[in-house]
Chains A and B, each alone.
Chain A
Amino acid sequence: MTMFRTIKELVEMAENENIQISEVMIRQEMDVKEKSREEVFADMEKNLEVMEKAIEDSLQGVESVTGLTGGDAVRIQEYMKEKTPLSGNLLLDAVSKAMGTNEVNAAMGTICATPTAGSAGCVPGTLFAVKNQLNPTREQMIRYLFTSGAFGFVVANNSFISGAAGGCQAEVGSAGAMASAAIVEMAGGSPQQSADAFAITLKNMLGLVCDPVAGLVEVPCVKRNAAGSSLAIVSADMALAGVTSRIPADEVIGAMYRIGKQMPSSLRETGEGGLADTPTGRLLKEKIFGMSV
């Protein structure tokens, strides 16, 4: 079996065989690792369990060592109980669970990187929010992760998925776009609609820099996962409505790569530019590490 290198190839493989994107990914993984379907599923289920546990932990309330992040996931859940959120329950639930996952990460808890730790909230946050409306089987939830992984696989091999290499567009941009594609599949959309949802999210994340305050995966990382997860749901709805991306997904990935290459290192996870270099950002760093910038 040949490996897919592009989103176009991935979608064509699914269409030609009349299978889902997740199935293309599962078959490739079985082939590469020489494992059975059951083994590959079991490996992915372990990741799903870690994601579920991280969200549960976050809803008990967590706080990072620095005190910069934590507690917002709980805050949002309480607001949802007391008021009717303007952006809708499903969307805000995803935001809460995405932020919660990253709060656990910032507090040095256990998470599953998707594709990275800094962007680990988008895929599980959307999954566990969409779940309440779509009522998927456990297998469909595991497939959600394979679909996300299939799109992330193409990004990682053609561009980058780390903030140090390509800015936050490569992390939360990729994560949100991966989640969009998986939501579409779970909601019964076509492989091409998954690709369109992916492209729409990534287009809207292009240019996003990685500028963590004090170099910590906290500010603005936790809230960027709120942006990535909410955009993921909106893009999925757009694609399911029949909206297509004028620029094909592979070309969006190419644009992301070139933009990342043009980013100065101060905006690629060095904690030197952007929000890290604001008066408050510098003050926080000084307070945390006891040194001036």
Chain B
Amino acid sequence: MKYNSVFDIIGPVMIGPSSSHTAGAARIGKAARNLFGKEPTWARIHLYESFAKTYKGHGTDFALVGGLLGFETDDPRMSKALDIAKEKGMEVEFIEDNSAANHPNTVRMLIGNEKEQQELVGISIGGGKVEITELNGFELRLSGNHPAILIMHNDRFGAIASVTKILAKHEINIGHMEVNRKDVGKEALMVIEVDQNVDDAILKELQSADHIIQIAKIVS
């Protein structure tokens, strides 16, 4: 089921005006920031369908950027997020994209700094609930209901086992897991939804496991 908590329906507490276009957008922005692991210095944001047509009226623009700045949905600074980003020197560009999207509230966020960049696609499915559907070209389905670990790794035998072995050692249960790769032996992505929060010491241990490139954590 898409929604599993009463607080998905009664909630979130948020700054208006739209749960899908403002609160949901802020959550996608925040997920992008968390996955990037730091504050980006630039963002190119493609908006599709309802997002593209109504983003100014709904404050989707400041909410996405508010999320990139790390704001929660009820942060009183939310409506000033574009100004705050400017002051911090974050370069932000919005593109109203006419291409077809699978969901009416879709955003593609390219973010980065002078060294690296990240591309993420998020959808806002209603009532402030969001899903991340694509990361750096990999399709994925993250419900956001549970803490999740995303692991970019090289497609080699043993890479998955080395990760699950560490999680097992720390008695962390895996609720859902997906593995994708671009091509045989190339870059691959593991998405692991877990039942408990994973602390930084375990992340460090995972980071140093065989064939691991980069790790990010999403807390629900």
Question: CB distance A108 to B16 under 8 Å?
Answer: yes
Of B7, B11, B127, the contact of A162 (CB 8 Å cutoff): B127
Which B30-79 residues have C-beta < 8 A from chain A? 49-50, 53-59, 74, 76, 78-79
Q: What distance in Å separates the Cβ of A53 from its nearest Cβ neighbour in chain B?
A: 10
The 0/1 profile, CB within 8 Å of A marked 1, for residues 7-41 of chain B is 11111111111111111000000000000000000
Q: What distance in Å separates the Cβ of A278 from its nearest Cβ neighbour in chain B?
A: 16
* Cα of A123 to Cα of B1 in the assembled complex, Å: 24
Of A29, A106, A118, A272, the contact of B5 (CB 8 Å cutoff): A29
* Highest count of chain A CB atoms <10 Å: which of B9, B20, B104: B9
Question: CB distance A165 to B57 under 8 Å?
Answer: no
Question: CB distance A289 to B16 under 8 Å?
Answer: no
Question: CB distance B54 to A117 under 8 Å?
Answer: no
**Which B residue sits closest to A151, measured CB to CB?**
B9
**Which B residue sits closest to A161, measured CB to CB?**
B126
Question: CB distance A113 to B6 under 8 Å?
Answer: no
The 0/1 profile, CB within 8 Å of B marked 1, for residues 2-34 of chain A is 010100000000000000000001001100110
Of A28, A153, A163, A215, the contact of B53 (CB 8 Å cutoff): A215
Of A5, A152, A265, the contact of B1 (CB 8 Å cutoff): A5
Q: Given A3-B4, A113-B11, is A268 in contact with B16 using a C-beta cutoff of 8 Å?
A: no
* Number of chain B residues close to chain A: CB under 8 A: 44
Q: What distance in Å separates the Cβ of A213 from its nearest Cβ neighbour in chain B?
A: 9
Question: CB distance A115 to B50 under 8 Å?
Answer: no
Q: Given A3-B1, A215-B58, is A112 in contact with B15 using a C-beta cutoff of 8 Å?
A: no
Any B CB within 8 A of the CB of A47:
yes
Any A CB within 8 A of the CB of B125:
yes
Question: CB distance B50 to A156 under 8 Å?
Answer: no
Of A47, A104, A109, A157, the contact of B10 (CB 8 Å cutoff): A47
Q: A46-B13, A117-B23, A265-B50 are in contact. List 20 more A-B contacts (CB 8 A).
A: A29-B7, A50-B13, A108-B78, A109-B16, A113-B128, A117-B17, A118-B19, A146-B6, A148-B9, A153-B6, A156-B9, A157-B2, A161-B127, A162-B20, A164-B21, A164-B104, A215-B56, A216-B17, A217-B17, A217-B18
Q: Which residues on B are within 8 Å of A, measured CB to CB?
A: 1-23, 49-50, 53-59, 74, 76, 78-79, 103-105, 124-128
Question: Considering the complex of A and B, which 5 residue pairs feature the smallest CB-CB distances, nearest first?
Answer: A215-B54, A162-B126, A105-B16, A215-B57, A149-B6
